[in-house]
Amino acid sequence: MQYFVVMIDYGRRGREAVVDPELTRRDVVARIASGEYSNVSFIHEIVDKSVEDITADIMSEAALPVLDGQDTDLQAARFDHVRDLRKHERV
């Protein structure tokens, strides 16, 4: 049997261990990426009688890609779009 234990830290309000045998690895990653599981202390994978800490692996899988927005000029892109729309207008 395989299942995951996700420990969520609520600070002064305590901790909560989410244990659901029906959750797959993909489900855990999706819930972390969506923000449903936040402030995760650790994630353990239980397989038969062995326990493995997979916190770093799951967190890296759930990480959103970092977009470098410094090189993007949003105002120029909007002006280009408006210009393109004008080029295709009926005369």
Is residue 78 one of the residues assigned to a domain? no
Within 10 angstroms of residue 32's Cβ, the number of other Cβ atoms is 19
pLDDT tens digit string along 28-85?
999 999 989 988 999 999 999 999 999 999 999 988 665 565 566 667 778 888 888 8
- Cα 4 to the chain's mean position, in Å? 17
This prediction's pTM: 0.66
Is residue 41 one of the residues assigned to a domain? yes
Is residue 33 one of the residues assigned to a domain? yes
Residue 54: give the domain boundaries.
2-64
Residue 72 CA to residue 48 CA, distance in Å, equals 50
